[in-house]
Amino acid sequence: MELTWYGLGCFRLAERGFPSVVMDPFDPDETGLGLGHLQAELVTTSRLADNPRALVWPQVRGVSRTIASPGEYEIGGVFVTGVACSPVANEDGLVEECVIYTVGYGGVVVCHLGELSRVPTQAQVEAIGPVTILLIPVGIPDGLTPAMASETVSLIEPEIVIPMQYHLPGLKVDRNSLDGFLKELGVSESAPLPSLKVTDGVESEETQVVVLAPQ
């Protein structure tokens, strides 16, 4: 399975023979970041929607299904679980519900924490289950602090952690630096990778932190 980051919370997951998934696509005009020629059959969005079928993604081609609510789904051999998480306030101060997703490609499970702003409860951690790759927001103002993000990693115990939702050059949305999170985990910054390829059976005695370059 190959995982590519496009900035903020947007990732594309792809595995030969399975539907590709884009998680949390954004509006390039509002964010200042581009998405290029992005294509996927399935989109997940961490913002809860009353009618996911009405959501349209002009920046993503080929979408046949959107998931925007808690529950268990199976689409073409890809297993998706949505777990309700703590409400968050949007830029207008209105409280919105959000969803944590796990996406399973065979033995590789990716967990996207959306815009989680509080350390997950034990019940949420149990609902998430075993995780291979954790995508965690580390730079949202009034969101997870570096200490809270570190605690969240310890609770979920993934094999690999990939930070998201932090400041990038040209970003119009207010985000904090990645440095605080890396320092909290005792990780020295290294050259970001263009993407991450993972196979079944990834095992490590310690959680690895991988920083990706937005594509």
pTM above 0.75, yes or no: yes
Is the distance from CB of 198 to CB of 176 less than 8 angstroms? no
Residue 144 is predicted with a pLDDT of 94
From 103, 155, 149, 99, select the one nearest 125 (Cα to Cα): 155
Residue 8 is predicted with a pLDDT of 97
Handedness of CA 134, 139, 140, 141 (dihedral sign): positive
> Looking at the domain 2-209, which fold is it?
Metallo-beta-lactamase; Chain A (3.60.15)
Residue 92 is predicted with a pLDDT of 57
What is the rounded distance in angstroms from the CA atom of residue 147 to the CA atom of residue 13? 28
Listed by start position, the domains of the chain span 2-209
Looking at residue 127, what DSSP letter applies? H
Provide the pairing of β-strand 42-44 with 21-23.
parallel
Residue 86 is predicted with a pLDDT of 63
Residue 190 is predicted with a pLDDT of 75
Residue 87 is predicted with a pLDDT of 59
Residue 122 is predicted with a pLDDT of 94
Distances (CA, A) of 183 to 8, 52, 172, 209: 20, 38, 25, 12
pLDDT averages per 10-residue partition of the chain, 215 residues = 96 96 94 90 87 80 93 96 74 67 94 94 95 97 95 97 97 96 90 91 80 95
Looking at residue 56, what DSSP letter applies? -
What is the rounded distance in angstroms from the CA atom of residue 94 to the CA atom of residue 71? 24
Residue 21 is predicted with a pLDDT of 97
Residue 31 is predicted with a pLDDT of 93
Handedness of CA 215, 13, 202, 132 (dihedral sign): positive
